[in-house]
Amino acid sequence: MKRDMDLVRSILIEIEEGRYTFDFDTLKVETDDQMYELMKLKHHIAIMVQAELINLSGNSPLWREDAPYNQIEVVGLTWKGHDFVDAIRDPAVWRKTKEGASKVGGAGFGFILELGKAYAKQELQKLGLPLL
């Protein structure tokens, strides 16, 4: 399954805004293949934990083989998760970041984060704010 950075961004922003539970039984998915979309969401939450962007509750079914995989409980964003959201929160910065990454044929997470920071700095400079 391919990593979907738009989905990663959306999940991180939702967590930052206070959504800590992802209930897969009641989740609304706008697609003909709902099972694939639910698997995709679970996969992305799992890789976001691996990337140290989010923390899950120790009771989260993602970690327990005997529990039904119907609900994921997020504790919150990590420092790295906050940094990523801060860098790419603005839709215009996110669009430029994705365009820049696509010009080099895709990019890893670290590169996307740095590119997002660079575009965010450009936006701050347009506002006349001094940067170190």
Instruction: Enumerate the domain spans of the chain.
Output: 5-84, 90-126
How large is the average pLDDT for residues 50-79?
Answer: 71
The architecture (CATH level 2) of 5-84 comes to Orthogonal Bundle (1.10)
Contact 60, 21 (CB under 8 A): no
pLDDT digits (tens, 9 = 90+) for 115-126: 888 888 887 777
pLDDT band at residue 53 using 50, 70 and 90 as cut-offs: very high
Grade residue 24 by pLDDT with cuts at 50, 70 and 90. Answer: low
Sheet containing 54-56: order of strands: 21-23, 71-77, 54-56
| pLDDT over threshold 90, residue 23 | no
- Does residue 30 register a pLDDT over 60? no
Residue 55 in this model has a pLDDT that exceeds 70: yes
Residue 59 CB partners (closer than 8 Å, separation 6+): 73
pLDDT at 73 over 80: no
**pLDDT value for 79:** 94
Any idea how long the chain is?
Answer: 132
Give strand pairing partners of 56: 74
53 vs 26 pLDDT, higher one: 53
Mean pLDDT of 41-68: 73
